[in-house]
Chain A
Amino acid sequence: MPSVSKRLATDLLFKGVLGLATVILFIPLIMILYYIIVNGAGAISWAFLTSLPKPPGEIGSGIGNAIVGSAILICIACTISVPIGVGVGVFLSEKPTHTIAKMVRICLEILQGIPSIVIGIISYLWVVLPMGGFSALSGGIALSLMMLPLVIRSTEETLKLIPQSLKEASLGLGVPYYRTMTKIIIPAGRPGISTGIILGISRVAGETAPLLFTAFGNPFLTFNIMKPVNSLPSLIYNYATSPYSDWQQAAWGASLVLILFLFTLSLIARTISTR
């Protein structure tokens, strides 16, 4: 058996390696944030957030349409994925061994593994082609497909943790099953379900690929879900790859806005889930 001092030294080394791994994780994270803040902070102003994009070289250009577009896309994605996702999640937690539940789980794994660009193409086939044009609706549908597995999983996992005794208490009072679920079980799981929805939103808010053939992008402001809309990620993609320095600057600004939005979402998710 090795001596005590050798074992203590190995212990120390092991702890050192753990610490080092953590520090290494921080380096790229801090560098990313540093670059985005240094390059983006200068671009951000009230006018930047509210005005519309202008041709390169003109001052007073903004990303207002992309913020509105992203908001519209997220709303559409939530409208579709939250009711369906919560419904499927409830089913999975209620009937975990049902044949359909097993099939659903396999489908979810496949859905989660589908590359986002492919999801964009699917939405293109389903919505853009039949409707004859790019639209916010098709983009929202693409994003909802990406959000769906996250909402379902978090609903299922949350509801599984709710004690059976709560359900018994309600059923024992002669409360019908549907009311037990909607008035007791789902409300009891609300923090977990909301956290899942928020994480789902932050997952899709930064997606560019599914929007390429769906929401497409639009230099103008529109609230019409049948029209193409701009979004923060597509704006960043278009501006960052442009040769104009003021557009690149705007891309940094938009990145910062997007990062701050995601950061806020994860803060909200944390607050809800630890409450």
Chain B
Amino acid sequence: MNKQILEISNLSVSIGNDTIIDNISMDFHWKKITTILGPSGCGKTTLIRCINRMHELIPHARVSGSILLFKKNIYEMNPILVRREIGMVFQRPNPFPTMSIYDNVIAGYKLNGIKLGSAEKDNIVETSLCRAGLWSEVKDALHRRGAFLSGGQQQRLCIARALAMKPRILLLDEPTSALDPKSTGHIEDLVSELKESVTIIMVTHNIRQASRISDFTAFLSKGELVEYGSTEKLFTVPEDKRTEEYLSRSAG
């Protein structure tokens, strides 16, 4: 049905003696938005961190199972290459504080020591900022530090920074939880536009957000994948009682 971009099979994660993710298998759909929904502590952040191997920063985390990116197991790939294919935007905007807006956008190239001509750099910066919907707001301040930007603008700068590396998958870890409603709206619109070009996997605990923008929704509870399907179906006729309870309780 879909191009197999990312397949998770039998993924389990434990940190120390605690099981965080319990035997999850799921496929993601090409150029769609998939949200991962669930109560706090259900393992949703851990799950998407596994997808670009950022969980390796957590001490004592153990992973079993496999994640295939275009049929290649990411745990057998170099994490650096995995992360260039799978970009990530974090919960709190984290632009590099000492760099200008311009340098933040091309940071991925600069820090990796990839040499670019200045025209090419200008081009990447402009395209990425345009795609992140930030270009018109910052085009006159490209060489200023990003610190004067609002939280929402900083988050879009982080999205631009991730897009600049031309990833095929973009992971968003509760990208709006630290933002006000207006900035949240901006990011949601932006994410909906981005699915034209990238596959988006987004973690959220905001049910309305999931229903507004996503094509597919996965519901996680206590490290278990309870239900996964099209957003429309999951929100209207959930199969599992736990999903139904979560949706009705949170909506009310």
Q: Are both chains from one complex?
A: yes
Contact A169 B112 (CB under 8 A): no
Contact A170 B111 (CB under 8 A): yes
Assuming the contacts A183-B111, A184-B111, A187-B98, asked whether A173 and B165 have C-beta atoms less than 8 A apart, the reply is yes
Contact B90 A175 (CB under 8 A): no
Contact B57 A174 (CB under 8 A): no
Contact B165 A169 (CB under 8 A): no
Contact B111 A180 (CB under 8 A): yes
* A145-178, CB < 8 A from B: 163-176
Q: Roughly how many angstroms separate A170 CA and B57 CA in the complex, as a whole number?
A: 12
Q: Which of B83, B87, B112 contacts A179 (CB 8 A)?
A: B112
Q: Which of A174, A183, A184 has the most CB of B within 10 A?
A: A174
Is residue B107 contacting chain A, with contact meaning CB distance below 8 A? Answer: yes
Is residue A188 contacting chain B, with contact meaning CB distance below 8 A? Answer: yes
* B69-114, CB < 8 A from A: 80-84, 87-88, 90, 92, 94-98, 107-108, 110-113
Q: Roughly how many angstroms separate A5 CA and B76 CA in the complex, as a whole number?
A: 76
Minimum CB–CB distance for A275 against chain B, Å = 12
Contact B57 A173 (CB under 8 A): no
Is residue B16 contacting chain A, with contact meaning CB distance below 8 A? Answer: no
Q: Roughly how many angstroms separate A21 CA and B116 CA in the complex, as a whole number?
A: 62
Contact A188 B165 (CB under 8 A): no
Chain B residues with Cβ below 8 Å from A180 are 111
Chain A residues with Cβ below 8 Å from B111 are 170, 173, 175, 179-180, 183-184
Is residue B156 contacting chain A, with contact meaning CB distance below 8 A? Answer: no
Minimum CB–CB distance for A127 against chain B, Å = 39
Is residue B130 contacting chain A, with contact meaning CB distance below 8 A? Answer: no
Q: Which of B83, B95, B158, B161 has the most CB of A within 10 A?
A: B83
Q: Roughly how many angstroms separate A30 CA and B109 CA in the complex, as a whole number?
A: 55
Assuming the contacts A165-B94, A166-B96, A184-B96, asked whether A172 and B80 have C-beta atoms less than 8 A apart, the reply is no
Is residue B54 contacting chain A, with contact meaning CB distance below 8 A? Answer: yes
Q: Roughly how many angstroms separate A164 CA and B88 CA in the complex, as a whole number?
A: 15
Closest chain B residue, CB of each to CB of A175:
B111
Contact A174 B96 (CB under 8 A): no
Is residue B202 contacting chain A, with contact meaning CB distance below 8 A? Answer: no
Chain A residues with Cβ below 8 Å from B98 are 187-188
Is residue B162 contacting chain A, with contact meaning CB distance below 8 A? Answer: yes
Minimum CB–CB distance for A218 against chain B, Å = 44
Is residue B59 contacting chain A, with contact meaning CB distance below 8 A? Answer: yes
Q: Roughly how many angstroms separate A138 CA and B110 CA in the complex, as a whole number?
A: 41
Is residue A97 contacting chain B, with contact meaning CB distance below 8 A? Answer: yes
* B189-227, CB < 8 A from A: none
Chain B residues with Cβ below 8 Å from A169 are 90, 94-96, 158, 161
Minimum CB–CB distance for A249 against chain B, Å = 49
Q: Roughly how many angstroms separate A164 CA and B54 CA in the complex, as a whole number?
A: 12
Q: Roughly how many angstroms separate A97 CA and B60 CA in the complex, as a whole number?
A: 12
Q: Roughly how many angstroms separate A165 CA and B171 CA in the complex, as a whole number?
A: 15
Assuming the contacts A166-B96, A179-B112, A180-B111, asked whether A172 and B59 have C-beta atoms less than 8 A apart, the reply is no
Q: Roughly how many angstroms separate A174 CA and B54 CA in the complex, as a whole number?
A: 10
Q: Could you list which residues of chain B lie within 8 angstroms of chain A, going by C-beta atoms?
A: 52, 54, 57, 59, 80-84, 87-88, 90, 92, 94-98, 107-108, 110-113, 158, 161-162, 165
Q: Could you list which residues of chain A lie within 8 angstroms of chain B, going by C-beta atoms?
A: 97, 163-176, 179-180, 183-184, 187-188
**Cross-chain pairs A/B with CB under 8 angstroms, 7 sampled:** A163-B94, A169-B90, A172-B87, A172-B88, A173-B161, A175-B112, A176-B80
10 more A-B residue pairs beyond the given contacts A173-B84, A174-B84, A174-B165, with a C-beta to C-beta distance below 8 A: A164-B57, A169-B94, A169-B96, A169-B161, A170-B96, A172-B83, A172-B162, A173-B161, A174-B83, A187-B98
